[in-house]
Amino acid sequence: GESVGLHLPTLSVQEGDNSIINCAYSNSASDYFIWYKQESGKGPQFIIDIRSNMDKRQGQRVTVLLNKTVKHLSLQIAATQPGDSAVYFCAENKARTGTASKLTFGTGTRLQVTL
């Protein structure tokens, strides 16, 4: 398959365990954050978002935590499955022009699910 990044940090998790993927963001003025999943050879897939007025948001099997004090974002995946194997990266809004958010993307973490 195609690689979306060389020498990405890798998190190896056993099937059924919980996964925690971390992201440090750069701009204390950022007020909107998104987690994406990218499988080999595919475009990034929107997973979950959170605004800065929240500390936590839950989706289906995923939870995003935001710590504005230390500019840290995490993605928790419950009961990790083989289909969760992918590169995960966070994005923060850098600026707005009109209604468009310009996002800054992290380089990503590769999640490997072992059986």
Partner 1 sequence: DVKVTQSSRYLVKRTGEKVFLECVQDMDHENMFWYRQDPGLGLRLIYFSYDVKMKEKGDIPEGYSVSREKKERFSLILESASTNQTSMYLCASSFRDLGQYFGPGTRLTVT
Which chain residues interact with partner 1 by CB under 8 A?
2-7, 32, 34, 36, 41-46, 49, 89, 91, 93, 96-103, 105-108
Distance in Å, CB of 6 to partner 1, minimum: 4
Decide if 20 contacts 35 (C-beta within 8 A): no
Rounded distance between C-alpha atoms, residue 99 and residue 10, angstroms = 35
* Cα 82 to Cα 13, 58, 85, 113, 114, distances in angstroms: 10, 21, 6, 5, 7
Indicate the residue among 29 and 100 with the shorter CB distance to partner 1. Answer: 100
Instruction: Tell the smallest beta-carbon distance from residue 13 to partner 1 (Å).
Output: 23
Least distance to partner 1 from the beta carbon of 103, Å? 7
